[in-house]
Amino acid sequence: MSSKNIFNLEGKVALVTGAALGLGRSFAQTLAQEGADVAIVDINKDNLDETERILKATGRKVLKIVADVSNPTDVARMVDESVSNLGPLNIAVNNAGIITKPARLHEMPLEDWNKVISVNLTGVFLCMQKEIELMLNKGKGGSIINLSSVLGLVGLDPDLMPRVSYIASKHGVLGLTKQGAVEYAEHGIRVNAIAPSWFSGTSLSRDRTKAQTMEEQHLREQKVIALTPMKRRGQIDELQGLLLFLASDASSYTTGQVIVSDGGWTAH
């Protein structure tokens, strides 16, 4: 197979959650640019409208779905609408995620814990259930790509304002990824995870900034950069190649893997 064909997504149908901004928007755009028709999903309608406009410029079919991934009814509707309008699902990118204000483990409000777990972990679980069910019924397999984090692999220095709910949820996503891969590999369904570290321009980085003073932002940024061997944050477009690899036939023998993009963060 030529390098041109191995990454080709023409004729494929993809679904991307958390597609209104940041990584989700970039992922959806990458898939559309490489030939896939894309269902974009988010709870944020206004910014999802902008993602729709951007994707339509690629000439591919785009389906906008407003849904909450922590709601089972919304998830079922999301998958049904995608199939009804675009056809059987080949690629699913479970990207939707949130954070709440930072708190030490023993001080985190149960409400904040439940809110993050419901979206970041239960949401991925619910999406995977429906995506796998659809791929099994279709009988041709598919690629599921879950978004974890470098914080799905390690803990975080207290000076960097960790949120145990987020860290626990992203560790949990890796468990879902590995178990899903093992259970459905023989059916041609591949399940892998991307684990980014500190990337500029993401929805989470914007939410985090809102919760900090300017001084806190500056001190945190200095420490993050100092602890990253590449001495910089990642840029969103630096994940496009990794996404395309996992979505395409280029990774046809790859499943159950967690691919980290962290500028060397976990190398020491």
Give how far Cα 8 sits from Cα of 38, 244, 247, Å: 14, 9, 10
Catalytic residue among 166, 184, 199, 245: 166
Those residues whose C-beta lies under 8 Å from the C-beta of residue 133, and which sit 6 or more positions away, are none
> Catalytic residue at 253?
no
Q: C-alpha angle 62/65/66, rounded to 5°? A: 145
Q: Are strands 13-17 and 142-147 parallel, antiparallel or unpaired?
A: unpaired
Residue 264: left if φ>0, alpha if ψ -120 to 50, beta else—which one? left
Q: Which of 121, 124, 116, 197 has the alpha carbon at shortest distance from 156?
A: 197
Cβ–Cβ under 8 Å, residues 240 and 26: yes
Distance of CA 26 to the CA centre of its chain: 11
Residues 220 and 258 sit within 8 Å (Cβ to Cβ): no
Q: Are 165 and 113 in contact (CB under 8 A)?
A: yes
Reference 29, options 69, 57, 65; nearest CA is 57
Question: Catalytic amino acids?
Answer: 166
